[in-house]
Amino acid sequence: MAAVGGGGRRIGGTIRKLIPWLALSTKARFVSDATGARGAGDNPTVLVIDFGAQYAQLIARRVREAGVYSEIVPHTASVGEIVARQPAALILSGGPSSVYAEGAPSVDPDLFKHDIPVFGICYGFQAMAQALGGVVERTGLAEFGGTKLTVVPSSEGVLLKDLPPQQSVWMSHGDSVTRAPSGFTVTAASDGAPVAAFEDLDRRLAGVQFHP
């Protein structure tokens, strides 16, 4: 379930770190020369897929402030339409739904077969996990507002590397990812979210339950 509170100001920090995150190594490069992806002014484009988040515009703005062109597209856009845009990367936004609600937006698993880096936030994180074979459940431990996040110290993740082992993040969810998809490393957890962040460096896929 996506944010309904006031955590928007927190989005900037992790988004700024996200841009170079996938550019740190050949395993995890954010804008690949091989993609040929171009946007406005022949610049790489990050598409924000909007699942109804209050902060979709803010996410796109923060990406642009980090020096990468960004646009918002609706979650109803087909995989073909998204791939045709040749995005350098995708961000799956939060949203107000439960992944198990009738008619809830979902992510087509084919989206992850095109070697496009994808980062999921909150609902987008859950929809991504479900599409890739992970488990999303209503555990009864909903989290709203400031929440203590614990970074997994032994993980090989990059996005949360060098951050404090415990920190306060903004959560707004009823459902939780309880098992990450195959190939993903769990990089953080909270009391109500046993999988609060994950990464698959080989496929350039990552996500967080909180609002960064």
Phi and psi, residue 128, nearest 5°? -65, -45
Phi and psi, residue 49, nearest 5°? -85, 115
Burial (Cβ within 10 Å: 0-12, 13-18, ≥19) of residue 26: exposed
Alpha-carbon distance of 54 to 169, in angstroms, equals: 17
Confidence at residue 20, expressed as pLDDT on a 0 to 100 scale: 54
Confidence at residue 83, expressed as pLDDT on a 0 to 100 scale: 96
> What are 193's two structure tokens?
């979210």
pTM comes to: 0.81
Burial (Cβ within 10 Å: 0-12, 13-18, ≥19) of residue 34: exposed
Confidence at residue 203, expressed as pLDDT on a 0 to 100 scale: 92
Beta bridge partners of 151: 188
Confidence at residue 53, expressed as pLDDT on a 0 to 100 scale: 83
* pLDDT tens-digit map of 61-110: 988 888 889 999 999 999 999 999 999 999 999 888 888 888 889 999 99
CB-CB contact of 132 with 181 (8 Å): yes
CB-CB contact of 136 with 175 (8 Å): yes
Using alpha carbons, select from 129, 29, 45 the residue that is nearest to residue 84: 45
> What are 168's two structure tokens?
């306060």
Confidence at residue 19, expressed as pLDDT on a 0 to 100 scale: 54
Using alpha carbons, select from 94, 92, 93, 72 the residue that is nearest to residue 3: 94
Confidence at residue 17, expressed as pLDDT on a 0 to 100 scale: 55
Confidence at residue 161, expressed as pLDDT on a 0 to 100 scale: 82
Using alpha carbons, select from 114, 98, 3, 112 the residue that is nearest to residue 53: 3
Alpha-carbon distance of 12 to 1, in angstroms, equals: 20
Q: Digits of tens for pLDDT over the chain (212 positions)? A: 433 333 444 444 555 556 555 443 333 333 333 344 444 445 689 999 999 888 899 999 988 888 889 999 999 999 999 999 999 999 999 888 888 888 889 999 999 999 999 999 989 999 999 999 999 988 777 777 788 899 988 777 888 888 888 988 888 777 889 999 999 999 999 888 899 999 999 999 999 989 88
Alpha-carbon distance of 192 to 202, in angstroms, equals: 28
Confidence at residue 99, expressed as pLDDT on a 0 to 100 scale: 85
